[in-house]
Structure 1
Amino acid sequence: MQRVVVIVQDGAEPFGLGSMCEVWAEPYHPEDDAPVFDFRVCTPTPGRVRGASGFDLYVEHGLEVVRGADLVCVCPKRDFTEPAPAVADALRAAHDAGATIFAHCTAAFALGEAGLLDGRACTTHWRHVDTLARTYPEARVDPDVLYVQDGRVLTGAGSSAGIDAALHLLRTTFGGRVAATTARRMVVAPHRDGGQAQFIRSVVPDFESDALGSVLAWIPEHLGDDLSVEALSRHALMSPRTFARRFRQETGSTPHAWVTHQRVLAAEQLLEETALPVEEVASEVGFANAATLRHHFTRARRVSPRQYRRTFSCAADPEERTG
């Protein structure tokens, strides 16, 4: 991998372009001895490219420089669902010629337009994974990961996950030392645990049934109580069988799964905002013990409660952040 080309379009997101420059456009640093790339930025119509954040770009090269590239990166743009046939054609041709294609964040939509996601695992920012799946139903969209590589197609989730994906590509192409050296220069972790599920916040939606809506609003305030189907059905003035059936009809989930999700959300907040030991967090949100909390939290967020606290806490003890 020697020649790297980044495609930008009107509405270019500056962080996406900047992160690619940080990884692929650096000059030679003798102390690092990392590879240096023939790096170029291009656009469908060379000249002024409108930016998304109050400043524009001037781009000299057109899409012809994509030919012969070893790696073609696509920078996200503000109107990411708007078709760009010229870009799609260039990406298809580059992939057919043997190039690796890397889409940062919502640039995955450009790969979908090019047909490069058909039958492939991929991802994008968690806010837009459902739209990506609907728009390109042949794509296998994974909503939880930071990045996915499937063959010579690499997609990263939002913002900083593009750096994770780029470091992954460096690691698999040049080895762990190059990836670690690049990460150290950028002052980022060479590898992050978990997936983007840990960054998602959920709220209680509206429901047709006033009784059921009342119960769902009541649950987060009483997570330490008995929240079995029998107890919840009494609160809703229904039989347990009727309650469980209507609950699944309106939420698509079982009462147990819903309660567990709410307890995980409450645990997140306590891990972020307090220095309570994990055992006390488990008790506060209604889990029987710390082991039960760890089981459900790790399954939902792809990281343990302790790892989550190290990432997000403003109140944890130093040992929690570093241990």
Structure 2
Amino acid sequence: MTRTRAYRDGALHKEDFPVAAVSDFLAEPDTTVWVDLCEPSEADLAELADELGLHRLAVEDAVQEHQRPKLDRYDGHAFLTAYAVRFDAESGRVTPSELAAFLTPRALVTVRKDDGFDIEAVVRRWDQGADLAKAGMPFLVHGLLDYIVDGHVEAVQALDEQVESLEDLVFDDRPDQSHLQHRSFQLRKSLTKLRRAVLPMREVISSLMRPDLRLADELTRPYFEDVHDHARHAAEQTESLRELVTTIRETQLNLQSNRLNLIMKKVTGWAAVIAVPTAVTGFYGQNVPYPGNGAPSGFWASTVAVLVLSVGLYALFKKKDWL
């Protein structure tokens, strides 16, 4: 599955042409080419690598999965790895989609490791920002990074709402402890995945803005700085959310422990109250003579003792907030 586009003088010139024609378009002045490949093998990239002079190590990284987000520089081109993310609010899961890209002076080659990366959304951004197309390669790179970083920001905001909902559940009168534990664990796991995709993007974009790469010129620098600012904000918020989820988990355990202590306190208080009639009736159940033995006065004395002592203990425990 291959997509191709050629831009000339800031306008879309042609698209969906064969990969073999890339070198022909690059031979024309003021022309920028984009090639997109989905799940290619190393052999699939061989022809393109020969035409564009791509480094062998970069080609190997492009087809291998689970690369960290990075920007590697080679002679004549740079190699970028990044992750787009999708967040499912119902399950609380973050799904990353890996993307590799080769950046040459006049060509952008994107390599998707799976079809989860919505490349059509990137194309729509390019079409909507056609006024920047005259910048050439920086225009394509900015649109790609802008889509990825905006996805990070949306995922962070959605997770923020989930964490706020989790906070409300913690302070319910009768919280579902099992659901809380599962949800907090799932959110922490999702934040860990998101952190791996989001945090390195600050350094990646900073490296792309270096003058020697000649991407962020006078026209495009404000756009790259805007993307960098969003990436930095997403990274900072991701770190804050991880700490907040940890705090919520600790608060949940503390509240659970406090509730258990309160229950034990009440059970102990009631046990003390119940012990009074047990002791009194046990005393009057002796098989030896005692004052009031076999007489109505003994019954009434024991009854009064049970009532007075039980009510007295209950009032004392209630005053001390033990019941």
Output the TM-score relative to the length of structure 1: 0.29
> Larger RCO: Structure 1 or Structure 2 (Cα < 8 Å, ≥ 6 residues apart)?
2
Give the TM-score, by structure 2 length.
0.29
Q: Which has the larger radius of gyration?
A: 2
